[in-house]
Amino acid sequence: MIDMIKQWRHVFKLDPDREITDNALDQVCMSGTDAIIIGGSSGITYDNTVELMSRVRRYELPCVLEVSDLEAVVPGFDGYLIPMVLNTTDSQWIIGQHQQAIERYGYLIPWDLLITEGYIVLHADSTVARLTGADTELTTAAAAAYAQAGERLLNLPIIYMEYSGTFGDMELVSETHRQLERAHLIYGGGIDTAEKAGQAAQAADTVVVGNIVYSNLSQALETVQAVKGSA
Amino acid sequence: MIDMIKQWRHVFKLDPDREITDNALDQVCMSGTDAIIIGGSSGITYDNTVELMSRVRRYELPCVLEVSDLEAVVPGFDGYLIPMVLNTTDSQWIIGQHQQAIERYGYLIPWDLLITEGYIVLHADSTVARLTGADTELTTAAAAAYAQAGERLLNLPIIYMEYSGTFGDMELVSETHRQLERAHLIYGGGIDTAEKAGQAAQAADTVVVGNIVYSNLSQALETVQAVKGSA
């Protein structure tokens, strides 16, 4: 699983709670992106997840589910990303919900398809920040320290810097990246132009493009080459 | 580090905040125990830690520090155990303090000497439970789920079941142990006789003997053979 993810430079994140036409989905999946992540912060159900998965499954593209709601865990994905919010004061979002899920579904869990992501949530005005009570006011040193705690004390294979709703501080992302030795750094948030995609590609290992798919498809498609053409 | 710890069947945990005579310490260190852990929940200072370490260092025995207070981190130990409380609602004890420590001392940290322990705190009436706000009322299934979350989502090399102040439920410990695939299980709490030491040795990989050293040294010493003679 992690070996596959480490090869991804560009991925589109699609939200089961939002409409996408067959034509738009075709362009997204044929864009040259490396993978599709299915996930979102609200309104995710089993039904809308299974529907979107089956539509994406027509394409030969890795498709993973970022698990946000236990009720919406659908079998058949290539992998399951398990977010763990590092910069929250509410332990439910670090380990509590995970423990409850294991207690309930333990024997059903396909452990070798699971990858834990250490999320650092950095945009206060976002659904995920409000939902998880994340402390988003981090200096570069504080963010890097969360990333190192995730990598070295928790052995997390992925650190995910989440600026959902705004384009992030690329200096902060780059510096955090420099402090990591093994973990794979994913960046997401506010990428709505090829230029921003290129900047994010310089700072992170994998660039996630989400919302712009729904508001400006052609600009979303341009981010693929901007990332893949980046060093 | 973890390879060394995996060979330990019996260890004594010594508290820098408590008095121990040279004669008693000699008997502890020459008892055949596999290692000394230095640590405690309160009253730990740099001075009392360095003093106890230098006294234990006269013996050819691995000696590690269980870090509970950043001010009391003394160089010169064979390793540093970093506790992370899995069953607390207060994220400070999971990752918060760790992040702060890394932010402050990052460049000084000897990462390869650090081992993270996933603590499951199970005795409500203990200093560690009160201090960390641990949810100690766990069923066997709930405890096992915390252990699995620690092992499989956080990749922790050690799960530490802490009954500090009372002898634990060996059925719960055994069942949790059975649910682990890779992590090393440490048991600590209430071992004041050879018989209890033997029972704990059946349930866990490593048995920690602490308080009884200070109240009944000869019974403490008997726990070594009880553990080492156990299958």
pLDDT greater than 80 at residue B206:
yes
A87, A91, A154 member nearest B155 (Cβ): A154
Helix (H) or strand (E) holding A116: strand A114-121
Helix (H) or strand (E) holding A135: none
Which stretches of B20-167 are assigned E, i.e. beta strand? 35-38, 63-66, 79-85, 114-121, 158-162
* CA distance to partner chain B, nearest, from residue A193 (Å): 33
pLDDT category at B107 given cuts 50, 70, 90 is confident
Question: What is the pLDDT at residue B70?
Answer: 82
For the stretch B173-193, what's the b/e string if a residue is b when 16 or more beta carbons lie within 10 angstroms of its beta carbon?
Answer: bbbbbebbeebbbbbbbbbbb
Average pLDDT for A203-219: 97
Q: Do B155 and A155 touch (CB under 8 A)?
A: yes
Q: Do B84 and A142 touch (CB under 8 A)?
A: no
Name the H helices within chain B. Answer: 2-6, 22-29, 46-56, 96-105, 127-132, 140-148, 170-179, 194-203, 212-215, 217-228
Tell me if chain A has a CB within 8 Å of the CB of B219.
Answer: no
**Rounded distance between C-alpha atoms, residue A161 and residue A177, angstroms:** 10
Which stretches of A17-99 are assigned E, i.e. beta strand? 35-38, 63-66, 79-85
- Measured between beta carbons, which residues in chain B are less than 8 angstroms from residue A156? 154-155
Annotated ligand binding at A54? The verdict is no
pLDDT category at B36 given cuts 50, 70, 90 is very high
**Rounded distance between C-alpha atoms, residue A121 and residue A108, angstroms:** 30
| Angstrom distances, CA of residue A35 to CA of A12, A74, A119, A228 | 7, 18, 19, 13
| Angstrom distances, CA of residue B218 to CA of A50, B16, B226 | 64, 20, 13
Averaged pLDDT of chain A:
95
**Phi–psi pair at B133, nearest 5 degrees:** 60, 40
Give the pLDDT confidence of B153-164 residue by residue, as tens digits. Answer: 999 999 999 999
Q: Do A146 and B100 touch (CB under 8 A)?
A: no
Q: Do B149 and A98 touch (CB under 8 A)?
A: yes
Q: What number of other Cβ atoms are within 10 A of residue B48's Cβ?
A: 18
Q: What is the second-level CATH architecture of the domain B1-226?
A: Alpha-Beta Barrel (3.20)
Give the pLDDT confidence of B134-184 residue by residue, as tens digits. Answer: 999 999 999 999 999 999 999 999 999 999 999 999 999 999 999 999 999
Q: B159 pairs with which residues across the strands?
A: B118, B185
Nearest CA in chain A to B135: A96
Q: What number of other Cβ atoms are within 10 A of residue A22's Cβ?
A: 9
Average pLDDT for B187-193: 97
Q: Tokens standing for A200?
A: 């994010």
Domain boundaries, chain A: 1-226
**Rounded distance between C-alpha atoms, residue B214 and residue B216, angstroms:** 6
**Could you tell me if A84 and A53 are in contact, meaning their C-beta atoms sit under 8 angstroms apart?**
no
Annotated ligand binding at A163? The verdict is yes
Instruction: With 0.80 as the threshold, say if the pTM is over it.
Output: yes
Give the pLDDT confidence of A1-46 residue by residue, as tens digits. Answer: 899 999 999 999 999 999 999 999 999 999 999 999 999 888 999 9
- Amino acid identity, position B27: Q
pLDDT category at A231 given cuts 50, 70, 90 is low
**Rounded distance between C-alpha atoms, residue A201 and residue A208, angstroms:** 10
